[in-house]
Structure formats: C-alpha cells, structure tokens
C-alpha cells in the first residue's frame, strides 16, 4: 500500500522508522535513490532536497511530532511528498498514560502547523487486526495445548494487549500523504489581533473595535482565543476560522452539560482563494485544523448560521449538516391591536417588569427551573448573560426581567435598529404564557414608542413557544439573508436528528445581535 503512494522511480526518498533498512533494499532494487534518515539527529541533513520522505512508525520514538515533521519538511523539495505510516490514538483522554502513541488530532494539527497540506488519510486498522489474529494462531500452533505448563487458557497471554484497543477503535494505524506547501496553519498567539482586525475590515467591509474583539475572544469566561489561522511563508495572514465557546444544556439526550462553539468570523484573503480546491483549499485546511485542535474529544458539536456559497461548500467539504431556514418572526405594530390590560387586572396578576443592570443568581435558579422545557439550548445562566449582554462593549442590548409577585418568570433582550425593535433573546416559564405579551406591550409603550415593528429569530422548537408567539400576533417568514442553522458533529451520542428535533435558538445565539 505504501509503495503505491511513492513517486515513480528514480525518485529520491528518505526513509525513517521501523523496518526502514529492509525496505530501503527493496526500494533500491526497484530503481529508487534511497537513504536512511535518523530523525533524532539534527545534524543529519543531506545537502540535496528529496522527492519524498517516508516515516514508517517513526513518530512513536519522538516526544514531539512537530520536531520530526519540521525536519522532514527541510529535507523535501518544493511540493515534495511526505508519507506517514504510524499508529495513532483516537481517545487520548481515556488512554492518557496507557499508550505511548501520539493522538491522531495532534498528528493532523502538526502537519498543518509545519506547512503540509494533506492529500489523503486512510485507516489500516482492519489489516492490523488480521495480523494480530494470524499471530495468535501461530502462537497456538507452537505451544501444545496438552502441555500443562502452558495450558490453553494461557495462549491469550501471547497476544498483543493493544489488540483490544484496536477493536474498541481507541487506537489504530493510518497512512497519510501530505505535500510540502507554502501555507502554515496554527492556533492564535499573543498579538495576532493586530493582523486579524485589518483582515476583518478588508473581507467584511466593516470595522470592529479592539474592545469588541477582546470581549468576544479574550474575555469569554467559557474559553479564550479559540482561533485557527493560516499564514503564508512570508508571514501574511491568509485565513481565519474561529468560534466562541458557549455552555450548553441538553435534556434530550447525549451529555447533559457541555461546552460547544458558535462559529463566526470565518474569512479568507482574496489572494489565497485560488490555492487548492475543495479539501485542499486554504479554508478547508484551517477548518480541519480547528476541528482537531479544539473540537474532537472536547465538544460534541459546534453550530452556526450559514448562507450563500459557504452553505454548499460547508456541506461538501467541512462536514456541515443543516436543519432548516431560520424562522424570522415579525410583529407589525401599526396593524396590531395590543391587548390593553387594566391596572386592577395587572395588580391582581402580580406581573411587573424591570430593566436589569445587574444579573444575579436569581437567573441561575430560573434557568434550572425551566431549561428542561426547552430541550437543547445554550445555558442561559447569569455568567453567560452577563458576558453576552451586559459586558458587551457595544452597549446595544437591553435585558428586561418579568416577575410575578416578585418571582422571575421570564426575560427578554432587545436592541433597536431604526424603527424596528429587535427581540434577540428570551426565556420564559411556559406556565405563564401571558408574561411575554405583557413584556412587549409594556416596553413598547414605555421605552420604544417610536418603533413600528418587532422582529427576531426564533427556532421552530419547542412547540409551545411557537404557539405563544403566534398567539401574540407574530408572523413567521423567511430569514431576509437566506440563513440556515447548521451543526458539525464530533460525538456519536449526538445526531443531526437529535439536534434538529430539540435545539432552541434565537438571534442572540448568533453574532448578528
């Protein structure tokens, strides 16, 4: 299998790792120019550049994959081929300290970080299991079962204990082919914002303040600097793929509490958009790096809101799966007859509303009280609400709490765009369906008398919330920009059906509010 991946003879090849000496003799006989490579010897640097470097189980002997790949790159000609055949660990968290092999995610990340683009990546686990079974059979032939010193029950002792890890898909062997490239991908390092912000301005034709960037990426209490970046050989920023860590709660299955990523600020410089196609494009590389660096074995899924060309590209090359077009809810106040509630009825019902400036533990208790009525949603406790709305330096959000006899029964977050009131987020106790309408009536009369419409995103679920909005008078239409909600799954305990059938989201779950 490895032999079919090599360039045609008389290509020049460096070989390192288990069995390298024997393989070199075979390659020489088939017309290749071959040399044995010692990756641990930094002084071993041939004067010429080679067509291919072949690493056969060589990485397990090195504490740093990156150092080995860095050396391999220096020995390759431009566009030279690197072939890695090695054992990897898929479940690094549960196997920590139990196996000496490197994490698969670490290998993928290191290839991108050292300026390689991955051409192919195949698992050879079934072949390895077959070899183990054959070896076990040979052992049983060597030792006579009638020999009481080595009885039949002890034959299993001669099997490699890692066979169990292969069968459980915790480890396995892979063959990767990568090309030396002029694009390097890495995670954020200090002061990268000095090049990120100018690129944001160039790509999106909009300004972003440094204070806003710090709030979103540095000061997020659920995780900082979750950013993957691609750079050219001369150090120019070429692309970015980033996410904002957010806490999640699920009463629908999978894990109950976890951290996910809301993906945003994906951008590619115009000058590199013609480099590679599909999976070899710069955008694909930086996305795959993000997955391996921040998501796999860490977050069960990430989510976002996608439109245009990125929708098709994401589905074909980035593993995105889509749910539905976002229901855009509109309440036209010019034709809407508000249900006027008399003062006596309000007093008897005990409803009151307050613009909040301090988010207290009362909001934690409220979330815990109602979250199971929503299924799957961002954990809207006080820590999240404080960071997401009251700490946002843009100062455009207004959060109102609704109480009944002093006890919190719901809240909403709003901003104003011209004569439209944007309803960006909400959480209510379904036992008090009148509370949301009361809140809208109250704040429009008192704080926003000039607005003509109330607009906002609200997911189709839960069903009782959709019924409540229709009862108030909202009409659901297509999202103006054609956005759809989508996810990228990383954990088999979550499926697209589970997310689609349970996810509650609002405009506040995006970076458009």
Residues 214, 336 within the same domain: no
pLDDT of residue 154: 37
Residues 45, 114 within the same domain: yes
C-alpha to C-alpha distance for 199 and 45, rounded to whole angstroms = 38
Residues 198, 335 within the same domain: no
pLDDT of residue 74: 94
pLDDT of residue 140: 44
Confidence of residue 150 (pLDDT cuts 50, 70, 90): very low
Residues 275, 415 within the same domain: no
420 assigned to some structural domain: yes
Compute the C-alpha angle 28/34/39, nearest 5°: 140
Among 159-168, 288-297, 449-458, the minimum mean pLDDT is found in 159-168
Q: List, for residues 417-445, the tens digit of each pLDDT value.
A: 999 999 999 999 999 999 999 999 999 99
Residues 422, 362 within the same domain: yes
By residue range, what is the domain housing residue 128?
A: 2-180
Whichever domain contains 258, its CATH number is 3.40.630.30
Residues 459, 395 within the same domain: yes
Domain count, the chain: 3
pLDDT mean across residues, the chain = 88
For 483, the enclosing helix (H) or strand (E) is none
Longest alpha-carbon distance in the chain: 99
Identify the domain boundary among 151, 180, 209.
180
C-alpha to C-alpha distance for 471 and 465, rounded to whole angstroms = 10
Instruction: Pick the closest to residue 490 from 259, 226, 284 (CA basis).
Output: 259
pLDDT of residue 277: 85
Judged by DSSP in three states, 242 sits in: strand
Whether the per-residue pLDDT at 156 is higher than 50: the answer is no
143 assigned to some structural domain: yes
Query: By the 8 A CB rule, do 120 and 176 touch?
Result: yes
491 assigned to some structural domain: no
What tokens does 51 get? 């067509």
Judged by DSSP in three states, 458 sits in: strand
Identify the domain boundary among 249, 272, 295.
295
What tokens does 126 get? 């079934």
- DSSP of 415-454: EEETTEEEEEEEEE-TT-THHHHHHHHHHHHHT-TT--EE
Residues 212, 138 within the same domain: no
ω into 384 cis (within 30 of 0): no
pLDDT of residue 167: 59
Q: List, for residues 364-408, the tens digit of each pLDDT value.
A: 999 999 999 999 999 999 999 999 999 999 999 999 999 999 999
C-alpha to C-alpha distance for 69 and 110, rounded to whole angstroms = 7
Q: List, for residues 328-353, the tens digit of each pLDDT value.
A: 999 999 876 554 444 555 555 799 99
Q: List, for residues 84-136, the tens digit of each pLDDT value.
A: 999 898 876 665 556 678 899 999 999 999 999 999 999 886 555 565 555 55
């Amino acid at each position: 299998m490895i032999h079919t991946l090599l360039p045609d003879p008389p290509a020049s090849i460096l070989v390192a790792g288990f069995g390298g000496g024997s393989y070199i003799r075979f390659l020489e006989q088939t017309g290749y120019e071959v040399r044995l490579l010692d990756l641990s010897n930094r002084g071993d640097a041939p004067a010429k550049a080679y067509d291919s470097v072949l690493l056969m189980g060589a990485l397990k002997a090195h504490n740093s994959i990156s150092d080995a790949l860095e050396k391999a790159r220096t020995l390759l000609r431009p566009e030279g081929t690197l072939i890695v055949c090695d054992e990897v660990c898929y479940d690094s968290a549960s196997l920590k300290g139990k196996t000496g092999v490197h994490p698969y995610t670490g290998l993928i990340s290191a290839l991108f970080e050292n300026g390689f683009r991955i051409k192919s990546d195949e698992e050879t686990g079934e072949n390895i299991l077959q070899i183990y079974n054959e070896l076990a059979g040979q052992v049983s032939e060597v030792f006579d079962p009638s020999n009481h010193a080595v009885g039949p029950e002890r034959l299993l002792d001669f099997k490699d204990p890692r066979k169990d890890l292969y069968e459980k898909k915790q480890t396995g062997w892979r063959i990767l082919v990568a090309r030396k490239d002029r694009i390097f991908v890495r995670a954020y390092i200090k002061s990268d914002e000095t090049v990120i912000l100018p690129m944001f301005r160039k790509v999106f034709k909009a300004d972003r303040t440094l204070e806003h960037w710090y709030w979103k990426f540095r000061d997020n209490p659920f995780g900082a600097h979750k950013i993957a970046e691609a750079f050219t050989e001369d150090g120019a920023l070429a692309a970015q793929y980033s996410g904002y860590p957010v806490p999640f709660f699920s009463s629908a299955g999978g894990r109950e509490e976890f951290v996910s990523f809301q993906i945003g600020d994906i951008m590619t410089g115009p000058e590199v958009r013609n480099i590679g196609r599909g999976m070899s494009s710069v955008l694909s590389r930086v996305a795959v790096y993000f997955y391996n660096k921040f998501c796999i074995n860490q977050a069960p899924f990430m989510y976002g809101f996608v439109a245009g060309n990125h929708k098709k590209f994401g589905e074909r090359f980035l593993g995105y799966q889509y749910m539905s077009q976002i229901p855009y809810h509109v309440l036209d106040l010019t034709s809407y007859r508000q249900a006027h509630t008399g003062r006596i009825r309000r007093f008897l019902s005990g409803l009151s509303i307050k613009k909040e400036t301090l988010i207290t533990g009362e909001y934690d208790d409220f979330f815990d009280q109602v979250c199971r009525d929503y299924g799957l949603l961002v954990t809207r406790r006080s820590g999240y609400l404080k960071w997401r709305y009251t700490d946002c330096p843009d100062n455009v959000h207004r959060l109102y709490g609704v109480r009944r006899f002093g006890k919190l029964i719901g809240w909403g977050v709003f901003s104003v765009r011209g004569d439209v009131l944007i309803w960006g987020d909400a959480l209510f106790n379904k036992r008090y369906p009148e509370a949301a309408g009361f809140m809208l009536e109250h704040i429009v009369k008192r704080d926003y008398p000039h607005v003509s419409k109330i607009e906002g995103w609200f997911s189709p679920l839960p069903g009782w919330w959709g019924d409540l909005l229709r009862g108030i008078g909202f009409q659901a239409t297509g999202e103006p920009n054609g956005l759809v909600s989508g996810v990228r799954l990383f954990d088999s305990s979550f499926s697209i059906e589970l997310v689609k059938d349970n996810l509650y989201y609002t405009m506040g779950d995006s970076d458009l509010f």
